Amino acid sequence: MPSFKKLSATAVAAAAILGTIAAPAASAKSDPVRSIISPGTCKSITKLANEGKPVPDPSILHDEDSVKPYFKDGVLKYKVADNFPYRKQLDAAVAEWNKALKGKASLKEVKPSEADNDTIAIIYKPDPNGYVQGSAYPDHKMVFIKMPNAMYPEALQGTIAHELGHMMGAGHSCAGALMAGANQNPISYHVTPLDAAAIVQGQFD
């Protein structure tokens, strides 16, 4: 029986008491390759990344010790399923990553007819439970986005960006980052300097 490594980010919308609506909260679930980074280390490396300084031992931010073969050249090629309904959020997530990576690595969409063995697939597979949810399968070059509607577009964009981060080799990292893992709050729906360091540092710099 094949073993699938599954990395997912889930955001669940919640309503606050007193009639105000809270922003969707997010948690990430995985079968971790790396242990969770300690709060003290997270504080220091987040500060360094925000200041534009190198992070010591960037391997703690990586999902594995080596870049996936499809990303060896630093370009993540992807194709999008015809029925994918959230192009605005996908395009925004890709644009954020490309800006944060500053040309050291990048994401590039290709037409299905131009796809090759190094192209990952972004697939729409809605989950009726209503959660903002996605799953990344780097070993199988697939990202599934499962949200059945776009009620929370920022959370949806963040979920897509998070899964793309996994496809580029980033593991779960620290509270306050896009790549925050399970029960690490607050989370970001946008790419942070620490997230960019997880892709670039020690791999493409």
Classified as helix, coil or strand, 59 is: helix
Beta-ladder partners of 62: 170
Give the pLDDT confidence score for residue 35 in this predicted structure: 56
The reply to whether the predicted model has a pTM over 0.95 is no
Task: Name the token pair of 36.
Answer: 């969770």
Q: How far apart are CA 125 and CA 133, in angstroms?
A: 10
pLDDT at 26 over 60: no
Residue at 48 is within a domain: yes
Give the pLDDT confidence score for residue 4 in this predicted structure: 33
Mean pLDDT for the stretch of residues 108-136: 92
Tell me how far apart the terminal alpha carbons of the chain are, to the nearest angstrom.
38
Task: Name the token pair of 194.
Answer: 């620490």
Residue at 12 is within a domain: no
The set of residues, in sequence order, having a beta carbon less than 8 Å from that of 86 and lying 6+ positions away, is 124, 145, 147, 150, 156, 160
Residue at 25 is within a domain: no
Residue at 27 is within a domain: no
pLDDT band at 181 (very low <50, low <70, confident <90, very high): confident
Q: How far apart are CA 23 and CA 155, in angstroms?
A: 9
Residue at 21 is within a domain: no
Give the pLDDT confidence score for residue 10 in this predicted structure: 37
Q: Which tens digits make up the pLDDT trace of 62-121?
A: 998 899 999 999 999 999 999 999 999 999 999 999 999 999 999 999 999 999 999 999
What CATH number has the domain bearing residue 168? 3.40.390.10
Task: Name the token pair of 24.
Answer: 């969707």
Q: Which tens digits make up the pLDDT trace of 147-174?
A: 888 888 999 999 999 999 999 999 999 9
CB 10 within 8 A of CB 133: yes
The structural domain count of the chain equals 1
Share of the chain above pLDDT 90, in %: 71
